[in-house]
């Protein structure tokens, strides 16, 4: 932290598992640096109330920096508290399940009343984290399912960036995308395709090797910079649609985004007018689906918790499509108009591709 010009006092906001594992390391490191530090256990929800409490604690400590160690909600709440206090922020993800650690975004949740647990708003802060620090041994010791989800989230980045750039839509900051952003997103996909399966094996063995290092960089840094600087499109909107289905509440963000990516590729196939483009998109979708199967990511509605061909599933698919196409959703960053009927057909096409791919294994 000294190397990037930061100094104490330090408020560390951390999940309980991170505290148990890392508190002795923090004590030793900050004692050596001569910095006062205080560890605060994260309250469990990235809510307004928790963010205000963290900001108050930072003020009381006279903190010069806020460090967050834990999962997505811990990072989001601490990032928002740092933004409120205009303090530097250090992001230390202990799982590699999304690309959020690198971003300047916080998802804020309600923590009381009938909507408790629901997303209240998405805040984009003034600055990106000052430092993103990932210990790949900590990632190797986290459940492989989280890493697979991170791979799913990372795979969507290029396809969404490609679509948003083709449509000339603004990025997450409201600015124009850059060539660099699209190339980072492409590199992210290529790294994950090349090393994803080996990284998951490393995660099962709890040994961080080169494959895991590469995938952690891709899923955290390249994906985070890629989505923020190039923009999101259909895959994340489909994810948001899937969140309305109670049967899918146990699915992780990256698992739903993986299926959303297949739905986006199906939308692109439907919209392609030239036969050659359709064939190319079809083989691209087949490659992505096979890769998802090899990493254990869901490729069918059934794997996400919706049984095939029931009336309840038909109703759920309609609800997903309505939610995914609401005004302001990133699905409207696709380079062609997308409506409910197109999404329903694309979900069915993605599910059928997923079932064919699973059957071929």
Q: What are phi and psi of 126, to 5 degrees?
A: -60, -40
Closest CB to Zn ion among 47 and 220? 220
Contact 124, 173 (CB under 8 A): yes
What HEC string does 119-162 produce?
EEEEEECCCCCCEECCCHHHHHCCCHHHHHHHHHHHHHHHHHHH
Shortest distance in whole angstroms from residue 346 CB to Zn ion: 19
**β-bridge pairing 10-14 and 65-70:** parallel
Closest CB to Zn ion among 122 and 319? 122
Question: How far is 345 from 324, CA to CA, in rounded Å?
Answer: 13
Question: How far is 348 from 221, CA to CA, in rounded Å?
Answer: 33
Shortest distance in whole angstroms from residue 92 CB to Zn ion: 19
Question: How far is 331 from 220, CA to CA, in rounded Å?
Answer: 23
Closest CB to Zn ion among 208 and 226? 226
Active-site positions read 153, 236, 239, 253
Shortest distance in whole angstroms from residue 73 CB to Zn ion: 14
Shortest distance in whole angstroms from residue 294 CB to Zn ion: 21
Closest CB to Zn ion among 130 and 153? 153
Helix (H) or strand (E) holding 40: strand 37-41
Closest CB to Zn ion among 82 and 233? 233
Question: How far is 75 from 179, CA to CA, in rounded Å?
Answer: 29
Closest CB to Zn ion among 153 and 351? 153
Task: Using the structure block, give the residue that is written with the tokens 């708003």.
Answer: 121
Shortest distance in whole angstroms from residue 157 CB to Zn ion: 8
**β-bridge pairing 10-14 and 37-41:** parallel
Shortest distance in whole angstroms from residue 174 CB to Zn ion: 19
From edge to edge, which strands make up the β-sheet containing 10-14? Answer: 37-41, 10-14, 65-70, 89-93, 131-132
Length of the chain: 361
> Which residue sits closest to Zn ion, CB atoms considered?
153
The residues that touch Zn ion, with contacts defined as CB under 5 A, are 153
């Amino acid at each position: 932290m000294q190397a990037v010009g930061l100094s104490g006092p330090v408020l560390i906001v951390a999940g309980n598992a991170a505290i148990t594992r890392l508190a002795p390391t923090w004590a030793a490191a900050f004692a050596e640096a001569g910095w006062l530090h205080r560890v605060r256990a994260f309250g469990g929800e990235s809510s307004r109330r928790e963010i205000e409490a963290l900001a108050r604690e930072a003020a009381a400590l006279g903190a010069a920096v806020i460090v967050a160690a834990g999962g997505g909600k811990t990072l989001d709440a601490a990032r928002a508290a740092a933004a409120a206090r205009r303090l530097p922020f250090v992001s230390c993800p202990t799982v590699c399940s999304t690309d959020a650690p690198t971003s300047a975004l916080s998802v804020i949740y309600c923590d009381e009343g009938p909507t408790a647990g629901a997303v209240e708003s998405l805040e984009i802060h003034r600055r990106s984290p000052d430092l993103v620090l990932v210990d790949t041994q900590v990632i190797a010791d986290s459940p492989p399912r989280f890493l697979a989800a991170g791979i799913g989230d990372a795979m969507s980045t290029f396809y969404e960036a490609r679509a948003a750039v083709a449509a000339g839509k603004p990025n997450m900051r409201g600015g124009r995308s850059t060539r660099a952003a699209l190339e980072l997103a492409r590199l992210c996909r290529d790294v994950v395709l090349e090393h994803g399966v080996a990284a998951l094996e490393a995660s099962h063995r709890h040994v961080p090797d080169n494959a895991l290092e590469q995938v952690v960089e891709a899923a955290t840094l390249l994906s985070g910079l890629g989505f923020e600087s190039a923009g999101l499109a259909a895959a994340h909107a489909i994810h948001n649609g899937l969140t309305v289905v109670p049967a899918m509440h146990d699915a992780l963000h990256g698992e739903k985004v993986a299926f959303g990516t297949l739905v986006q590729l199906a939308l692109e196939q439907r919209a392609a007018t030239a036969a050659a483009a359709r064939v190319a998109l079809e083989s691209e979708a087949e490659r992505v689906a096979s890769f998802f199967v090899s990493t254990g990511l869901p490729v069918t509605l059934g794997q996400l918790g919706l049984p095939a061909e029931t009336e309840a599933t038909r109703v759920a698919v309609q609800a997903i499509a309505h939610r995914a196409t609401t005004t302001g959703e990133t699905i409207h960053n696709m380079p062609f108009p997308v409506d409910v009927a197109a999404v329903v057909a694309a979900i069915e096409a993605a599910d059928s591709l997923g079932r064919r791919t699973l059957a071929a294994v």
